[in-house]
Structure 1
Amino acid sequence: MEEDLRALARQAVEASTAASDPDYPLFHVAPPVGRLNDPNGLVVHRGVYHAFYQFSPFHPDRKLVYWGHSTSTDLTTWEHREAAIIPDSWYDRNGAYSGNAVVDRGTVHLNYTGNVRPSEEERDTHQCVVTSTDLVTFTKSPRNPLIPEPPHGHTRHVRDPQVWRDDDGSFRMCLGAQRQDLTGCALLYRSPDLTTWEFEGELSFPETPELNQDFGYMWECPAIVRVPDADADKIHDVLLFCPQGISPSREGFKNIFPTCYVVGELHGNQLRNTGDFHELDRGFEFYAPQVFAREPGESGPTLMTAWVGNASEDHQPSMEHGWVHTLSVIRELTVKDGRLIQTPHLDTSRAHTVTTGLPGQIGPTKVELEPLNGRRSFRAVFTVEADQTADWGLRLGTETSHVDFLFSGGQLTVDRSTTRYPHGNQRTVTLPQTSTMTVELIHDRSVTELFLANGALSFTLRSYLEEAPFGVQMWAAEPLPVQFHDVARFTPSAPQPIQSSRIQ
């Protein structure tokens, strides 16, 4: 008798204690039980934001990956839905792996990789699709797998389809891949109908040749996204990708696998007019970014989220309550001077806004930010009049368990060595050159995201602190002016029942 994988996942969710965990976030997407990793199939459909994600409801006892599903109307309040893609077909029996969404004539196509492991040493990957007109009922295509084999010259490590509509009305697909010589690359396919796919070749980089041959041993989650320029009436083609096994001889790229981007112009199979590659986020936990798809012709900002996690780093305090990992806060992307700018897209209309009780200056004596003390989910936006030589800092938590953000000598050092998850201990990054530092600090129980210089630099981390007492402090070696522009505190809302979905 075959297992009812949908019923088993439902039972795991019903037995979960995740929502009662004091570390469980209020406005970040987190799994109802088990393990979450890559965001998948992000799409805006009839005014609702849908975030699918890699979901392992039986983690750590059994590695079987579904597509989890959460929805929101404001990108801040998220509701769980039942799993959307169940790994119950011959071509995905060991997991429904990552992919994206594209909308065509009212139908949402969820593209994904079906994973099959004939043995521990063998792997088969199949590119597949599920369709839906209401994102409640999901139908696997009878023609799956649409791409059953890797192209000649590549191993079976081909996965993570990202599909978009080209300007001529056809569709293109970008896939992460590995060549037979064990080097990483991205593959391009084209289709007239989202069903029949023709291999076009590898993505190449005429002006950035180091990306063409031996840049890591595998590329995961490559996506070509269109991002507006912040200052000009221009759209850029930006490649987001996760090259595994690179060791650049410059600052950054400290995570087990980094997340990179390249800004350019896509012409056929070439990304032209590119500059250097850059790391997308400098924090301890960040991977597999993806942007939201929209209906054809629908305008709106380019919105992105990512996995606040890394491979092989699941042993976190939240596992005591049977869950691990979250997605990042939603971020709006623009390009400025050839670099990506990330601005948090967080609706604070349902939060309590603070307008008083905040300092206008910080100095040698530590200042307690009283409106935030005891609040474990908040957003604070402020500016500090400080040049590159100024020494100042922020502390989240208590004297014995805290995250410190230390600004000194043109660098930021983030230290979480006293937290309940000190993995990596501390990291130092170079700050953008500016005489007035804008800071957006987002903290949601056990997730912290810092955005500096109007989004020119972002730093994401898990911050498992003591539940209580909880405080926020600021200090500076010499008196510095500080101006708070927006401070909002979030409180828990009543839990919502998980709404069912249907597979056909």
Structure 2
Amino acid sequence: MQKIHLETNQGLINDPNGLCQFRHTYYVFCQWNPLKKDHTHKEWAMFTSKDLIHWKQHASPLKLGEPFDRDGTYSGSAIEQDGAIFVYYTGNVKCENRYTNQCLAVSENGVDFHKKGVVLPTPPGITRHFRDPKVFQDKDGMIYMLVGAQTLDQKGKILLARSENGIDFDYLGIIAKSQIYEMIECPDLITDFDQDLYLYCLQGRDPITDEVTDSFAVYQVTPKDRFKQFEPLDLDHNWQKLDEGLDFFAPQTFIDKKGRRMMIGWMSRLDDNQERLLFEKEPNAHCLSFPRVLTWKNDRLIQTLAEEFESLKTTSHPIEITSNGLQGKTTNRLAYLKIERSPSEQSGQPFRLVLNAGELIVTWKPKTCELIRKDWAQDREETKTFPLDEIRTIEVWVDESSFELFVNQGEQVLSARVKPLESHFSFEATDGQARLFDLEGFTLEKLGSMDLKPAGHARKEEETAIAVY
């Protein structure tokens, strides 16, 4: 199990939901199936923290069971409104004419959530693919809701609704569209930078079987307040990937009390065989990414790890200079590595970084970078290639079965799950100056024995057991 990434101690999780900070407590929710390591059941998991390092998992705050969400409480978001947490989510109803609704639940104490029902039903001309409500407020206090959707011609769209009180929403129409992809998931809109940023996931679906064929997370820059002009944005062009790694999807952002725009994603794009083999001996499956701080600098998006994680660094380790470059290792699996390259090394000299005997490899030659992972399901190398002008610095954060790499002070991020080959951490690099540290895990107060009552029944919060890594 992971030790510095959020995950439940049982079942399967996916998309992060409802990210917010309420009364100085961080809230991270996510999709959760506590019953099995598959997607046959959906409710919400809930974690809270005062500092992003010491966490507690709570009993599920949102379970299926009402007529409007009887087959699943799916992804959504949250805002603070009238001294309470307003949580918006997709209620799934799998009847003969399957449909979805955008629903509301409210908590005044941050623990007990009370469902208020449907606030936005499926509009005319929209298929059952109508989900992932992202709610935000503008500077005047007006509340907006973005929803990912598919029109009857099987093309992806982003829809917009508006409310003055967070309860009564007026549907305004389509504000962004794709002519290539069959669905748009996880829409988000950042409005606190010099320019607005749309975040969304492009999803290809087979027109006959409706199965997912491709999906990835991107962002697109637009002029300020363009979303209010109701001229549909072209989602097929002028986007950039949020993460050039192998496992990052369904990101969501929020603003904390320090004014930081933060983002968390789901760390998986694994295929079925990779997923089965990676988690077959574990009671749980999947994790969330680190919380990343987003800034806009020199006309580009910068992603850096929240500064609180610096406190996890402990023992430093020596770096050995070899005829092939440099190398080092730790005694523990959890590690932090930073490599800084000199101007002469940056100016066209190829670079290669091997992590943990080849669990993950980064290679760079002028203008091009490759991320190579050992595919444990097919015993081959899996390669991702993308454009990159240079590598000046690279920071590597290592957990039990995941890596997050921040390149050039966060100008690019690479995320990947791996099948561990070593119980410690080691690296080899062709050049640069390196610093290497052990990491201690964060504290997660997990749920104790799981009380898996049938859907629709309230779950009593169980006794908890503290796990300190």
Q: Would you say same fold, with TM above 0.5?
A: yes
Using the alignment, how far apart are the partners of 2:294 and 2:313 within structure 1?
27
Aligned pair 1:491/2:440, yes or no? yes
Q: 2:421 corresponds to which letter in structure 1?
A: E
| C-alpha displacement of 1:94 | 1.2
Using the alignment, how far apart are the partners of 1:311 and 1:462 within structure 2?
8
Closer, same or farther: CA 130–311 of 1 in aligned 2, 3 Å? farther
- Structure 1 residues 342-351 or 66-75, which shifts more? 342-351
On the 8 A contact 1:438/1:452 being kept in 2, the answer is: yes
Structure 2 counterpart of 1:172, from 114, 137, 144: 144
Structure 1 counterpart of 2:247, from 285, 288, 310: 285
Structure 1 counterpart of 2:115, from 140, 159, 163: 140
Structure 1 counterpart of 2:433, from 482, 488, 498: 482
Q: CA deviation digits over 1:337-393, x for unaligned, max 9?
A: 43321111152454343455235xx554363313xx232112223311222532332
Moved over 4 A (4+): 270-275, 418-424, 492-495, 499-503
Structure 1 counterpart of 2:339, from 376, 382, 385: 382
| C-alpha displacement of 1:125 | 0.1
Aligned pair 1:410/2:370, yes or no? no
What is the aligned-residue identity percentage? 27
Partner of 2:413: 458
User: Which structure carries more strand by proportion?
Assistant: 2
| C-alpha displacement of 1:63 | 1.1
SS in 1 for 2:352: strand
Using the alignment, how far apart are the partners of 2:111 and 2:28 within structure 1?
13
Structure 2 counterpart of 1:223, from 173, 181, 188: 188
Partner of 1:130: 105
- Structure 1 residues 343-352 or 327-336, which shifts more? 343-352
Using the alignment, how far apart are the partners of 1:96 and 1:347 within structure 2?
31
On the 8 A contact 1:87/1:93 being kept in 2, the answer is: yes
- Tell me the TM-score normalized by structure 1: 0.80
Aligned pairs for 1:69-218 (under 5 A) are 69-119=46-96, 122-141=97-116, 144-148=117-121, 150-204=122-176, 212-218=177-183
| C-alpha displacement of 1:292 | 2.3
| C-alpha displacement of 1:403 | 1.8
Q: CA deviation digits over 1:376-419, x for unaligned, max 9?
A: 11222331122253233222223xx6222222343222222265
Using the alignment, how far apart are the partners of 1:184 and 1:351 within structure 2?
42
Aligned pair 1:472/2:434, yes or no? no
Structure 2 counterpart of 1:336, from 268, 289, 297: 297
On the 8 A contact 2:54/2:443 being kept in 1, the answer is: no
Structure 1 counterpart of 2:26, from 49, 54, 76: 49
On the 8 A contact 2:9/2:447 being kept in 1, the answer is: no
On the 8 A contact 1:329/1:346 being kept in 2, the answer is: no
Q: CA deviation digits over 1:454-493, x for unaligned, max 9?
A: 111111110121243x3412232xxx44153xx4422346
SS in 2 for 1:347: helix
Across the aligned residues of Structure 1 and Structure 2, the Cα RMSD in angstroms comes to 2.8
Using the alignment, how far apart are the partners of 2:407 and 2:81 within structure 1?
38
Closer, same or farther: CA 168–475 of 1 in aligned 2, 3 Å? closer
Aligned pair 1:425/2:382, yes or no? yes
On the 8 A contact 2:337/2:434 being kept in 1, the answer is: no
Partner of 1:326: 287
Q: CA deviation digits over 1:167-196, x for unaligned, max 9?
A: 332211000011111111100001111111
Partner of 1:245: 204
SS in 2 for 1:417: strand
SS in 2 for 1:317: helix
| C-alpha displacement of 1:272 | 7.8
- Structure 1 residues 303-312 or 85-94, which shifts more? 303-312
Structure 2 counterpart of 1:260, from 218, 225, 231: 218
Q: 1:498 corresponds to which letter in structure 2?
A: L
What 5-or-longer segments of structure 1 have no aligned partner?
1-23, 205-211, 229-234, 247-254
Using the alignment, how far apart are the partners of 1:147 and 1:311 within structure 2?
33
Q: 2:243 corresponds to which letter in structure 1?
A: D
On the 8 A contact 2:150/2:156 being kept in 1, the answer is: yes
SS in 2 for 1:285: coil
Aligned pairs for 1:11-50 (under 5 A) are 24-50=1-27
- Structure 1 residues 301-310 or 382-391, which shifts more? 382-391
| C-alpha displacement of 1:263 | 1.2
SS in 2 for 1:71: strand
Using the alignment, how far apart are the partners of 1:461 and 1:414 within structure 2?
9
Aligned pair 1:300/2:259, yes or no? yes
Q: CA deviation digits over 1:304-350, x for unaligned, max 9?
A: 01011137644242232121111111111112343321111152454
| C-alpha displacement of 1:82 | 1.1
- Tell me the TM-score normalized by structure 2: 0.85
Q: 1:34 corresponds to which letter in structure 2?
A: G
